[in-house]
Amino acid sequence: MTDSADYVHWWGLLAAPMLLAALAYAAAAGSAVLAARASGAPAAAALTAPAREAAGLLLRRPRTVPGADTLLRRLGVATVPVAAVMAALVVPLGGRSVTDLSIGVVWFNAMEVLLWAGVWTAGWGANSVWGLVGGYRFLIQGLSYELPHMFALTTAALGAGSLRVGEIAAAQQGLWFALVMPVAFAVYLVSTLAMSFWPPFDQPLGADIAGGAAAEPTGADRLVLLAGRHLMLAAAAAMAVPLFLGGGSGPLLPGWLWSAVKAAAVLALLVWAGSRLPAVRMDRFAEVGWVVLLPLVLLQALAVSVFVVAGWM
């Protein structure tokens, strides 16, 4: 435990949201480019598509539905990006995070769970049947991925014997956890897609229910909701780096650059998976989450705890 573990990097208060926003934009642009290439449209123009769509959203006149709970809806929508940024509190860039809480892993988990309330409230508050159905779809998705996700986090923390993200990254100097506990890494990646309702887990915003929780929000509300979704994906992808990919370690390049490169690589993988797979419907796949993923990650945790007890880690 280095003394920098207690140090608060106050400059990170501005740097973290900005870096997160940059990653989020990269995810949006990446998925736009993939969509453009798939449908034969010019791909270069797709790089600026998310920014241009955001510009258009700022111009829209706000809409409400009679009987909608506007305050609740706004709070729900705003929770999504705020929780994502808060989750990035403990994500380090080359060994330095805004603050390296001693319970950083638990903090990350807690912030991500706030999204459940946010998305459901955004759907409910809009007083539209599509939002309602979308919000509940997100809840069952959450129930199915959350336990495997928590166990994946726990397994990584187990490997380092600490809940401090900096220490987990530091404990991987010998061998990345992605190689030691591949099942946990795979489960973490799957849960990342689910937690940020990114395709293939985007049934909460599904096209079959006219956009789901994103059917009614217009203009700034919609921008905040979708930006929050991209921010959460970016935060979770960035978190995979210290948990499973050794943090900023690597030859030649400085730590922060390695962190950024690894986070971008994870993000690219997630964005590619989003365009490559059809949507997962929870009425078929909740079973898989509980009966396949959960025992697998539990076995992984057992294996890792045996390693820890035997002194190999």
Partner 1 sequence: MDSFWPALALFAIAAAGVLGVYGAAAAVRIGGGPLSREPYMAGVPVTEHPVSRFHVRWYAVTLLFLAFDMEMVFMYPWVLVVAEKGVHAVAEMFGFLAVLLVAVVYAWREGAFRWT
Partner 2 sequence: MDLTGVARWLARVSPPRPLVVAAVGGTGSRLAVERVLRERGLRRALSPGEADTLVVCGPEGSGVDEAAERVWDQFGEPRARVRVRSAEEAAARIDEARSVLLDLPAQRRSAQTRPAAAGGEDHAQEEQDGQEEQDGQDEQDAQDGPDEHERRGGQGPRGSQGESDRGGAGGSGEDGGERSHGDGGLGHDGHQGAGHHDHEGGREGGGNDGHQGAGHDDHEDGHQGGGHDDHEGGGQDEGGHGGHDHGGMELPGGMTMTDRGDDRDGLRLDRLHIAIGPVQADWPCGLTAALTVQGDVVQEADVSTLPLAPEDVAVYWDDDAHEVPGPAALRFRAAAAADSLQRFLDVAGWPAAAGTGRLLRDTLLVPAAPAAGRPRFTRWLRRVRGSRLLWWSLRGLGPAPAGLPHDPSAGPPERLRGDVAARVSRWLDEIAAVLLPETADGTPAPAGPLPRLGRERAECARAALAVLPGMLVGQDLAAVRLIVASFDPDVEALAAYLPEAAHD
Residues lying near partner 2 in the complex (CB under 8 A) are found at 34-36, 38-42, 45-46, 49, 52-53, 55-63, 65-67, 69, 124, 129-130, 133, 136, 199-200, 202-203, 206-211, 214-219, 222, 275-281, 283-285
- The interface with partner 1 within residues 147-186 (CB under 8 A) comprises 147, 150-151, 154, 157-158, 161-163
Cα within 13 Å of Cα(285), Cβ side: 16
- The interface with partner 1 within residues 233-292 (CB under 8 A) comprises 282-283, 286-287, 290-291
CA 92, 96, 101 angle in degrees (round to 5)? Answer: 70
53 binds, among partner 1, partner 2, none (CB under 5 to 8 A by kind): partner 2
206 binds, among partner 1, partner 2, none (CB under 5 to 8 A by kind): partner 2
Spatial contact of 196 and 229, defined as CB atoms under 8 Å apart? yes
Of 10-18, 175-183, 197-205, 254-262: span binding partner 1 (CB under 8 A): 10-18
Q: Smallest gap, in angstroms, from Cβ of residue 167 to partner 2?
A: 37
- DSSP structure class, residue 304: H
**Closest Cα to residue 271, out of 210, 189, 213, 214?**
189
**Closest Cα to residue 53, out of 220, 268, 273, 276?**
220
The site string for partner 1 over 203-222 (x = CB under 8 A, - otherwise) reads -------x----xx--xx--
Using CB under 8 A, which of 58, 251, 252, 278 touches partner 1?
Answer: 58
d(CA 158, CA 149): 14
Using CB under 8 A, which of 26, 132, 178, 233 touches partner 1?
Answer: 132
Alpha helices in 128-219 (DSSP H): 129-160, 165-170, 177-180, 182-195
Residue 312 contacts partner 1 per CB under 8 A: no
**Closest Cα to residue 180, out of 12, 303, 286?**
303
